[in-house]
Amino acid sequence: MIAERWETASRRPLNPGANTPPVISAVRIIVLLTVLATVPLAKPHPGLADAHSIAIAVAMAVVTIAWVVWLRANCRYPVMVAALSVMAVAGGALAGLSPFSPAIAIACVVTSSAGIRLSTEASLTITAATVASFLIAGFIVAAPAETLAGYPAALLGLWAFGLTRRAYVLRAEEAEEALEQARRAHTAENQASALAERARIAREIHDVLAHSLAAVSVNLQAAEGLLGELPADARGSEVVKAMECIERAVAFTRDGMTETRRAILALREGSDGDGAAASPSDRPSATRLVAELRKLTGEHQANGDAIVDLELIGEPRPVGAEAALTAYRTVQEALTNARKHAPGGPVTVGLTFASAALEVRVVNPLPAADEAGPLAHAGAGYGLTGLRERAALAGGTLTAGPEDGQWSVHLRIPA
């Protein structure tokens, strides 16, 4: 398996030209320009004087063309191999024909680059071609023996250096791929854990809250039926009020069960927003916000025997659905808290349409220390915390606390 992976990796270019650092590209161009500028200064000079000079000129021209093609090959593997092959033959021949010039730099670049970028077989073939071309040309022009022995050794050393560099790069790429796979696995694990937790919460809501509301609704309807069976002459005003309270309680439990079903559906389907799985008609949209708040405050006033004033400031305008929902939930929670902690007290709900924001302010009197309502300790105490979190998710802020002898809840949200 490791051998197969190594072979697969060896068949693609490393460090594609598109990702080559500008410094490396500049060095390669400088090497080519240096060779082209200095080889004509050594003897024999390239030109048309004799066969030796013509061969040097032709080799320089071929090396230049192949070098440019190599620089522009980018990640095209066949083009890269072809360019390096031509550079190997022409560069080796140029080094042999002009042994007293920097022409050997071409062969050095070819062997090291082939070792780094190409497969072992391909790089060995190109290195062998470079050495063979150099030796043939060197023997023809009777190059010094030390040059014929030293340059091939240097070329083989640079090829070995390229192989070492290639092994390092392959290990680095494999480590990076393993790290990316680990990141993807960690992300998938987190998503699976989140979905499992959402499913667990949905089950808990269904098993606890939905069942409890259903049981309360059944008992309320039974109580309403028993009171309704009383003779007309036996129904006093207290019984009539009790039946009205039961009817309202039945309506509350029915609405609560509807909201519970929406929450469970949102959790099961992985929706991000509250009630996002419900149809648009089931949610307080932007254009219906004022009407929904009027209905909500009217129900609170009718059910709690408290005066609720809804004040509109500014010209009502369409706002985002998330902002409208956040505003509605804020007023809903604030009215519930007012009923729990200061029953019967007047409540003022202010809705302000600013130029770039929507503001909601709900104010009710603070109860006396010894006049806590019967529902003051009901609930889990996380209503305002949830509202702050909801406001933050929508890009807004929510503050709540005593202010001038009153309890104030203030929401500001971009809209």
| Residue 208 within any structural domain of the chain | yes
Residue 368 pLDDT > 90, yes or no?
Answer: no
Q: Is the residue at 158 inside a domain?
A: no
For the stretch 290-319, pLDDT in tens is 888 988 888 888 766 678 899 999 888 888
Report pLDDT digits (tens) over 263-289. Answer: 777 666 654 444 444 443 444 455 678
Mean pLDDT of the chain: 79
Range of the domain at 212: 198-269
The reply to whether 24 and 125 lie within a common domain is yes
The answer, yes or no, to whether the previous bond of 44 is cis (omega within 30 of 0) is yes
Determine, yes or no, domain membership for 405: yes
87 occurs within a structural domain = yes
With respect to residue 181, please indicate whether it lies within any of the assigned structural domains: no
Left, alpha or beta for 298 (phi > 0: left; psi -120 to 50: alpha)?
alpha
Residues 312 and 387 in one domain: yes
Predicted confidence (pLDDT) at residue 47 exceeds the cutoff of 60: yes
Contact 52, 97 (CB under 8 A): yes
pLDDT at residue 257, as a whole number = 72
**Do residues 244 and 295 share a domain?**
no
pLDDT in tens, 171-182: 888 888 899 999
Same domain for 6 and 139: yes
Are both 265 and 298 inside the same structural domain? no
The pLDDT value recorded for residue 1 is: 46
371 pLDDT tier (thresholds 50, 70, 90):
low
Distance CA 341, CA 345 (A): 9
Judgement on whether residues 207 and 247 belong to the same structural domain of the protein? yes
Place of tokens 């509250």: 274
Structural domain includes residue 404: yes
Q: Are residues 264 and 305 in the same domain?
A: no
Cα dihedral value 268, 269, 275, 278, nearest 10: -120
pLDDT > 70? residue 345: yes
Domain shared by 232 and 296, yes or no: no
Q: What are phi and psi of 75, to 5 degrees?
A: -100, 15
Domain membership of residue 393 (yes or no) is yes
Quote the pLDDT of residue 271.
Answer: 47
Residues 42 and 112 in one domain: yes
If one counts the domains in the chain, the total is 3
* 45 pLDDT tier (thresholds 50, 70, 90): confident
Same domain, 306 and 382: yes
Does 301 reside within a domain? Answer: yes
Q: Which of 98, 116, 5, 10 is nearest to 59 (CA)?
A: 98
Across residues 34-57, what is the average pLDDT?
84
Q: pLDDT-based confidence at 412, cuts 50/70/90?
A: very high
Could you tell me if 315 and 251 lie in one domain? no
Claim to verify: residue 35 and residue 101 sit in the same structural domain:
yes
Domain boundary among 123, 143, 163: 143
Domain boundary among 126, 143, 160: 143
Q: Does pTM surpass 0.75?
A: no
Task: Give the residue from 113, 133, 156, 161 showing the smallest Cα distance to 59.
Answer: 133
HEC per residue, 100-126: CCCCHHHHHHHHHHHHHHCCHHHHHHH
> If pLDDT is split at 50, 70 and 90, which confidence band does 167 have?
confident
